[in-house]
A = this chain, B = another copy of it.
């Protein structure tokens, strides 16, 4: 099994928040909507159904933890969860806090938002809040 290596496009577009049992938790650098990315640390996997059953169970629970983190910090109207990967093939799961009237509502966010990166100070603050205010275990 080759070692896990983060795809350079995901690395460029998001910031590492923390490691969970299976996945990296990353903040998408797009301030229009609160948006986390889970990247399972498994090499050469592009789709969820290619994970082993134990990893699939872990991933579902980490999707739930990421959803809970967004609920705690942002109280969204809806959570969107998706594994797409048509452009970046490395398996990654989007967990996005959606609000009625946000910049893409009611459409999905992908391809619908102009880039609007966070300021560095904002990233630092969100990272602290995600790590200090969220219980990342069940």
Contacts and interface: CB of A to CB of B under 8 A. Distances in A.
B87 A106 contact: yes
B81 A80 contact: no
Interface residues of A, number: 34
Contact of A80 (B63, B67, B82): B82
Nearest to A57: B57
A123 interface: no
B49 A64 contact: yes
Interface of A: 46-49, 53, 56-57, 59-61, 63-64, 67-68, 71, 78-87, 89, 98, 105-108, 110-111, 138
A7 to B, nearest CB: 15
A83 B82 contact: yes
Contact of A81 (B64, B82, B107): B82
